[in-house]
Amino acid sequence: MSMRRHGFWIGALCVLALAYGLTLAIRNEYAFFAGFIILQFIVLATAWNILGGYAGYVNFGTSAFFGIGVYTAIFLFKALGAPLLVQMAGAAVMGALLGFVTGLLTLRLHGIFFSIATVAMTIILETLVINWKYVGGATGIQVLRPPVTEPFDSYIKMLFVIGVALVIVAVALSRHVQGSWIGRGLRAIRDDETAAECTGVPTLRLKLLACSISGALMCAAGAPSAMYLQFADTTSAFNLNYSVSALAMSLIGGTSHWAGPVLGAIVLGVTQQALTVTISSELNVLVLGVMLILFVVGAPEGLLGLLRKGWARLARGGGS
């Protein structure tokens, strides 16, 4: 057990070192510009899966969390001149609070009704921000990046490494939740909430915990967006695309294991980025939709399920 835990952290450090190495080796900033988007989606999908995959509560409000993350960062930057890491920490706190409120919704709302409520929440929050002049309101807001911090030589490369670090934090949290008593309780809730409660599972507390962790990660993922684009407006910050993508990537990757959303986000994210460059950015959404349908029908356990089946077949073939 402890060996495996160390293994994970050693791997994480290697990934982080590799990411930094890449920023030294590769000159072209576009690679990092595109890579950052994929990292963002890995965090969003991983965060979505903590509530949606483990506990079975389908959250359609990823874009609400993302948008609140963006605007928390903008507010902190404009009002206090807060540095990026403080913006992200502040966004995580806001996300945890918003997640807690979302968790309270589960008291009365289950299944599709919960999902609809999260869509409503997105619209309400977006409307509030549209009418908030201080952070730019409906016209959006320009932000000027501060100079890049040592040891980085470009802001985008720094964002890329921070993105990798956030992915590591998200995956570590998701992995911990999955492997611990929390994950077992959440799965019991997903299978049968009443039976879970009668078996001693504190269902409300666990749902609030899952919502808060998930929300904190989503908002933290949104926070660097302002500095990344040097601009923010409500239409892109609260874009429904984040909700759909986080959900689709988790489902396509497989929701039962932390690696599923990571795999789904990488496969889908890379495909989307490649299509944006080679064909058109509109085709993205079509690809997402088609892949989602294919997987829901053909491989309900996602890529991970397919890999597991393939592995089992291989093992059987090798044994006989």
CB of residue 5 to other proteins, shortest distance in Å: 14
Please give the single-letter amino acid code of residue 300: P
CB of 246 to other proteins, least distance (A): 22
Q: In this structure, how many other beta carbons lie within 10 angstroms of the beta carbon of residue 315?
A: 10
Q: Which is nearer to other proteins, 140 or 179 (CB)?
A: 179
- Owner of token pair 């956030």: 166
Nearer Cβ to other proteins (50/94): 50
Amino acid at the residue 10: I
Backbone torsions φ then ψ of 131, nearest 5 degrees: -95, 10
CB of 107 to other proteins, least distance (A): 11
C-alpha closest to that of 48 among 306, 307, 244, 237? 244
Report in angstroms how near the CB of residue 130 gets to other proteins at its nearest.
40
Residues that bind other proteins (CB under 8 A): 181, 184-185, 187-188, 190-192, 194-204, 256
Q: How far is the CB of 274 from other proteins (least distance, A)?
A: 35
CB nearer other proteins, residue 236 or residue 256: 256
CB atoms within 10 A of CB 117: 18
Q: Which of 265, 307, 290 is nearest to 47 (CA)?
A: 265
Q: Which is nearer to other proteins, 29 or 197 (CB)?
A: 197
- CB atoms < 10 A from the CB of 13, how many? 11
Distance CA 103, CA 313 (A): 41
CB of 109 to other proteins, least distance (A): 18
DSSP 3-state assignment of 59?
coil
Paired strand residues for 141: 232
Q: Decide whether 256 or 271 has the Cβ nearer to other proteins.
A: 256
Closest to other proteins by CB, 80 or 195 = 195
CA distance 207 to 182: 10
